[in-house]
C-alpha cells in the first residue's frame, strides 16, 4: 500500500521499536520513574538536592516495509505533573505501537522532571519539559532515515504531557503541527491558541478530580481547598475552555466529555485498559487522518 494512498486509520504494518534513543543531554533531577507512582513519588524527594547530567531518551516505533516515501509523525508525551512518569507507560506505548502500524513514525519521549515545591520551581520544571519536547521533535525531524514528512506532524499527550503538546502546537515559531490530541490537559493562557492553525481533539471528564475542566488549579477541582496548589501553579484553563476558544477562532476542534469521574480515562485503577483507551485511540486516528490535508 503506497504511502500517498494510506488512510492511516487501518493497521497495515508490522512494527519495529528502537528503544532508549538518546536525543539530548541536559542537567536535571530525573527523567523517568517506575510505573508504580505511589511508591516512586516519595523516594524522589531526596533526589532534588542537586541536579546531574541526564541522557534524555525516546522510544521510536516505525512501520516495517511501508512503501511510502514520507511518513507522518506522532510525538507522544506522558503525564505525571512534571514529577513522575516514563515513556514506556502502558497507554503511551500502546498508542505508539498502534499508530506505527497505521504507517506513522511514533515516538514516546522522556523529559526532565522534578521541582522544588514553589511557584518558581514548578514553572522551571514545566519550561524544562517544554524545551526537551521541542528538542525531541527537532531531533526526529533531523533524522533522515526515519523519512518523516515535516508537513504532517501530530502530537498527543496526557495531563502534563497534554500541556506540553498544546504549548508545542501553538508556539509562534517551529514547524507546523497539523493536529494534537489533548487528553485531559490544560493551558495557562487561552491566548496561545491565536498563534497557530492547529486542530485540537480533546478528551476529559467534567468531574476530573485532578485537572480543571474549565478553569481552576490542579488537584483542587470540585471545590477542594487542599492541596494549596495556588501556591505553586497559576490558574489553568481545561479542555472545555480550550474547545470553546478554539471554535471561536475557527480552528478544527472536537471535544469528548466522558461521564466517568476520573482523571486517567484510558486506564482503570489496576492500570488495565478501559474501553475509553480504544475509543480515544480510534478517534485520534480518524481526526489526524482528516487533518492531513488541512490548509
In this prediction the pTM is 0.93
Any idea where the domains of the chain sit in the sequence? 3-291
3-291 has CATH 3.40.50.1820 classification: yes
- Are 186 and 239 a contacting pair, CB within 8 Å? yes
Strand arrangement of the beta sheet that strand 253-257 belongs to: 15-28, 52-63, 105-109, 71-77, 148-158, 179-183, 199-204, 253-257
Scanning the structure block, which residue is given the C-alpha cell 492547529?
Answer: 198
Tens digits of pLDDT across the chain (295 residues)? 334 445 799 999 999 999 999 999 999 999 998 754 444 555 666 666 689 999 999 999 999 999 888 999 999 999 999 988 999 999 999 999 999 999 999 999 999 999 888 889 889 999 999 999 999 999 999 999 999 999 999 999 999 999 999 999 999 998 999 999 999 999 999 999 999 999 999 999 999 999 999 999 988 877 776 677 777 788 999 999 999 999 999 999 999 999 999 999 999 999 899 999 999 999 999 999 999 986 6
Show the beta-strand stretches assigned E in the chain.
15-28, 52-63, 71-77, 105-109, 148-158, 179-183, 199-204, 215-216, 236-237, 253-257
Amino acid at each position: 500500500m503506497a504511502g500517498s494512498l494510506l488512510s492511516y486509520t487501518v493497521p497495515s504494518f508490522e512494527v519495529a521499536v528502537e528503544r532508549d534513543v538518546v536525543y539530548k543531554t541536559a542537567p536535571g533531577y530525573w527523567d523517568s520513574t517506575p510505573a508504580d507512582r505511589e511508591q516512586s513519588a516519595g523516594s524522589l524527594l531526596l533526589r532534588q538536592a542537586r541536579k546531574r547530567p541526564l541522557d534524555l531518551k525516546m522510544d521510536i516505533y516505525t512501520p516495517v516495509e511501508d512503501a511510502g516515501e514520507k511518513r507522518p509523525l506522532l510525538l507522544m508525551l506522558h503525564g505525571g505533573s512534571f514529577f513522575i512518569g516514563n515513556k514506556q507507560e502502558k497507554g503511551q506505548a500502546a498508542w505508539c505501537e498502534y499508530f506505527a502500524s497505521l504507517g506513522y513514525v511514533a515516538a514516546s519521549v522522556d523529559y526532565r522532571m522534578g521541582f522544588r515545591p514553589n511557584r518558581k520551581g514548578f514553572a522551571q520544571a514545566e519550561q524544562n519539559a517544554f524545551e526537551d519536547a521541542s528538542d525531541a521533535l527537532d531531533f526526529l525531524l533531523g533524522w533522515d532515515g526515519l523519512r518523516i514528512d515535516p508537513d504532517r506532524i501530530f502530537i498527543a499527550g496526557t495531563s502534563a504531557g497534554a500541556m506540553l503538546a498544546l504549548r508545542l502546537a501553538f508556539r509562534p515559531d517551529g514547524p507546523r503541527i497539523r493536529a494534537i490530541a489533548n487528553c485531559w490537559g490544560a493551558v495557562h493562557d487561552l491566548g496561545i491558541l491565536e498563534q497557530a492553525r492547529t486542530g485540537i481533539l480533546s478528551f476529559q471528564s467534567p468531574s476530573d478530580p485532578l485537572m480543571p475542566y474549565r478553569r481552576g488549579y490542579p488537584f483542587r477541582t470540585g471545590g477542594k481547598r487542599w492541596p494549596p496548589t495556588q501556591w505553586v501553579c497559576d490558574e489553568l484553563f481545561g479542555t472545555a475552555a480550550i474547545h470553546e476558544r478554539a471554535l471561536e477562532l475557527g480552528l478544527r476542534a472536537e471535544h469528548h466529555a466522558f461521564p466517568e469521574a476520573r482523571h486517567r480515562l484510558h486506564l482503570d485503577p489496576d492500570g488495565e485498559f478501559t474501553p475509553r483507551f480504544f475509543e480515544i485511540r480510534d478517534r485520534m486516528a480518524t481526526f489526524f487522518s482528516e487533518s492531513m490535508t488541512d490548509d
